[in-house]
Amino acid sequence: MRTHGKALHELFRKRDIRHITHVPDAGHAELIRLASTDDAFVSTALTTEEEGIACLAGAWLGGERGALLMQSSGVGNCINMLGLTEICRFPLLMFVTMRGEWAEQNPWQRPMSRAVQPCLEAMNVIVQRADDVDELLDLSEAAIDMAYAGDHAIAILISQKLIGRKTW
C-alpha cells in the first residue's frame, strides 16, 4: 500500500513543489525524510511554523514553489503571518496532520485541533480535508493548481485516522 508520505513526495516532485518547510512531526516523518534526502528539494527545518509562511513567500518572490508541513497545533502559530499571504496574495500550500480527533489519547491536543478550521478560514485560507490517501492525492493536485495558478492559500488537513493510531 502506498503511504501518504510517498504519495506526496512523488506528487511534489512531479509538480515542482521544491521548497519543503517543516517542523518535526510524526505524521509527516516519512515525507520529511524523503524530501530531506532528495536533491530535487530544498528542505528547511523551522523552529516554529510561521517561519514557513514567510520563507515560502520569499521563495515565490524568487520564482519557486513550496509547501509547509505541520501538525494541527502549529496552525495557531501561523495566524498573524497568514496576513502576509493574504495581503500580497502569495500562493500557499499547507499540509496539516491532525491530532486531537480520532483515537486521540492526549486531551491537550484537542483545543487547537478544534480551532484549526475556523482559524484558517478566518485568515482566508481554503480548507480541505482528506480521510484516505487517494483523496489526499486528488485534493493535493487540485490545491497545487489553485495555489500556483490562482494565487490562493490552501490547507489540506490530513485526518488522524489516515495517519493511524499513535502508540503510547
Partner 1 sequence: MVIRPQIERRAAVSLLLEDRDQLLVVSGLGSPTWDVAAAGDHPRNFHLWGAMGGAAMVGLGLARARPDLPVLVITGDGEQLMGMGALATIGAAAPGNLAIVVLDNRHYGETGMQPSHTGLGTRLDEVAVASGFRWTERHADIQAMPGLRRRIHAKEGPGLAVLEIGTDEPSRIMPERDGVFLKNRFRADLQAG
Residues that bind partner 1 (CB under 8 A): 19, 42, 44-48, 50-64, 66, 80-81, 83-84, 87-90
To partner 1, the closest distance from the beta carbon of 81 in angstroms equals 6
* Edge-to-edge strands, sheet with 17-22: 42-45, 17-22, 65-71, 92-97, 153-158, 126-130
To partner 1, the closest distance from the beta carbon of 155 in angstroms equals 18
Could you give the C-alpha distances from 57 to 2, 43, 162, in angstroms and in order? 31, 15, 29
Nearer to partner 1, 61 or 142 (CB): 61
Q: 155 has which bridge partners? A: 94, 127
Let me know if 30 is exposed, middle or buried by CB neighbors in 10 A (0-12, 13-18, 19+): middle
Nearer to partner 1, 54 or 146 (CB): 54
To partner 1, the closest distance from the beta carbon of 73 in angstroms equals 16
Nearer to partner 1, 18 or 166 (CB): 18
Q: Are 28 and 97 a contacting pair, CB within 8 Å?
A: yes
Other C-beta atoms lying within 10 Å of the C-beta of residue 73: 21
Alpha-carbon distance of 95 to 156, in angstroms, equals 5
To partner 1, the closest distance from the beta carbon of 56 in angstroms equals 6
- Helix segments in 37-159, DSSP class H: 50-61, 72-75, 82-88, 110-122, 133-150
To partner 1, the closest distance from the beta carbon of 144 in angstroms equals 17
Nearer to partner 1, 90 or 95 (CB): 90
Nearer to partner 1, 17 or 133 (CB): 17
